[in-house]
Amino acid sequence: MASENAGSESITLNPHKVALITGITGQDGSYLTELLLNKGYEVHGLIRRSSNFNTQRIDHIYVDPHNANKAHMKLHYADLSDASSLRRWLDTILPDEVYNLAAQSHVAVSFEIPDYTADVVATGALRLLESVRSHIAATGRSHIRYYQAGSSEMFGSTPPPQSETTPFHPRSPYAASKCAAHWYTVNYREAYGIFACNGILFNHESPRRGENFVTRKITRAVGRIKIGLQSKLFLGNLQASRDWGFAGDYVEAVWLMLQQEKADDYVVATEESHTVEEFLEVAFGYVGLNWKDHVVIDKRYFRPTEVDNLKGDSSKAKKVLGWKPKVGFQQLVKMMVDQDLDTAEKEKVLVDAGYIDAHQQP
């Protein structure tokens, strides 16, 4: 398992670019790491301590650090709530690019743990920016570049289409915290001249999406229902509309932002929006099922304040970065269902052998 060797202080310097990623174990962290490794970067990821290994999304690209010639991704323990760990790893790793992807990223959960969410999402970003600022002041490494993972949730109740000039109206502790992180990033750029960019990314999904986000919750259920492991799927608001893209496409835009001459902020979106109900139709329809036979509305999944309609205008990213999404909505849904049919087949083997209980829904 990857995290067994985390914390190793032996950093090998090489002539390639060096990146530091917070949130490397998350969906985006795993895709960004693959992209950077393919470009020849040395990638360092900060992971937080957990009682179980939390590196499943990057295990396939992990090479034991004892194999020094082949290990281009290294993991270190740190936490966005621990400023000293952030500064220490900056000083040790000497990155050229810093990607701040770490977050308590679940909107509904942010209503349950608002204080913690603000600490990690808002103050965590400030801690990292301040670490970068003081690292530059101490070392003179002013070429260092910083990326902040901003969110379309910041637009909240402001109607679409949403672009870089659209006012924010956050509708959750998570979204309000992302707004703070956004403005901290702008402020550090203006106050200290740090090359710091905000990506304002609309929802992006993949087969690696966390299982309690609505898209993956649906595709996991489709796989399980199709092979008889489950019959009902409990969901909340089906009328919310989201601009859903593919995470693999979005990390390319993230990387491009840090390769520009000038630091700036960019909206990244497909410019197409679909309701949760439309997602259900495509996902269940793809395997010949009718979602209405399986979905049960459960009030517990409704949020105190909802974001009804997100649809991005990413013309700036298209023009300046030369970026555009490759994977469309239908293709994305099918990619996720295909993978989750496979996951369900494997699960069934374990259920049939008595290792897991089919009634335990993911």
- State in angstroms the smallest separation of the CB of 25 from ligand NDP: 4
Q: Does 362 bind ligand GDR (CB under 6 A)?
A: no
Does the footprint of ligand GDR cover residue 276 (CB under 6 A)?
yes
Exactly one of 42, 153, 252, 271 is catalytic; which is it? 153
Site for ligand GDR in 92-111 (CB under 6 A): 105, 107-108
Instruction: Respond yes or no: is residue 174 known to be catalytic.
Output: yes
**Which member of 212, 231, 305, 331 binds ligand GDR (CB under 6 A)?**
212
Active site residue 153: yes
Among 43, 86, 214, 282, binds ligand GDR (CB under 6 A): 214
214/253 with CB nearer ligand GDR: 214
Residue 339 found at the interface with ligand NDP (CB under 6 A): no
Please tell me whether residue 236 binds ligand NDP under the rule CB under 6 A. no
Stretch that binds ligand NDP, among 58-66, 67-75, 137-145, 203-211 (CB under 6 A): 203-211
Selection from 362, 132, 51 nearest residue 225 by Cα: 362
Q: Which does 212 bind (CB under 5 to 8 A by kind): ligand GDR, ligand NDP, none?
A: ligand GDR
Please, what is the angle between helix 173-192 and helix 124-139, to 10°? 20
Closest-CA residue to 317 (of 263, 279, 269):
269
By CB under 6 A, residue 243 contacts ligand NDP:
no
- Least separation in angstroms between CB 183 and ligand NDP: 16
Number of H helices, E strands in the chain: 11, 13
DSSP structure string for 121-181: IIIHHHHHHHHHHHHHHHH--TT-EEEEEEEGGGTTTSPSSB-TTSPP---SHHHHHHHHH
User: CB count, 10 Å around CB of 292?
Assistant: 10
Contacting residue, 28, 42, 97, 153, with ligand GDR by CB under 6 A: 153
Considering only 81, 158, 237, 275, the residue that binds ligand NDP (CB under 6 A) is 81
- Within a 10 A sphere around the Cβ of 80, how many other Cβ atoms? 24
| Shortest Å distance, C-beta 175 to ligand GDR | 8
**3-class secondary-structure state, position 8:** coil
Catalytic residue among 174, 188, 250, 266: 174
DSSP state of 305: S
Instruction: Please tell me the distance from the alpha carbon of residue 195 to that of residue 262, in angstroms, as a whole number.
Output: 7
Distance CA 246, CA 203 (A): 8
Q: Which two tokens stand for residue 337?
A: 């269902």
Question: Rule CB under 6 A: is residue 303 a binding residue for ligand GDR?
Answer: yes
Contacts 24+ apart (CB under 8 A), 56-64: 56/25, 57/25, 57/26, 57/27, 57/29, 57/30, 57/208, 58/2, 58/24, 58/25, 58/29, 58/30, 58/33, 59/1, 59/2, 61/30, 61/33, 61/34, 61/37, 62/2, 64/5
Q: Tell whether residue 21 is a contact of ligand NDP (CB under 6 A).
A: no
Question: How many positions of this chain bind ligand NDP (CB under 6 A)?
Answer: 25
285 binds ligand GDR (CB under 6 A): no
Q: Which does 257 bind (CB under 5 to 8 A by kind): ligand GDR, ligand NDP, none?
A: none
Please give the residue ranges that form the binding site for ligand GDR (CB under 6 A): 105, 107-108, 151-153, 202-203, 212-215, 217, 235-237, 240, 242, 276, 301, 303, 306
Residues annotated as catalytic (active site), given as ranges:
151, 153, 174
Please give the residue ranges that form the binding site for ligand NDP (CB under 6 A): 22-23, 25-29, 48, 50, 54, 79-81, 101-105, 120, 149, 151, 201, 203-204, 210
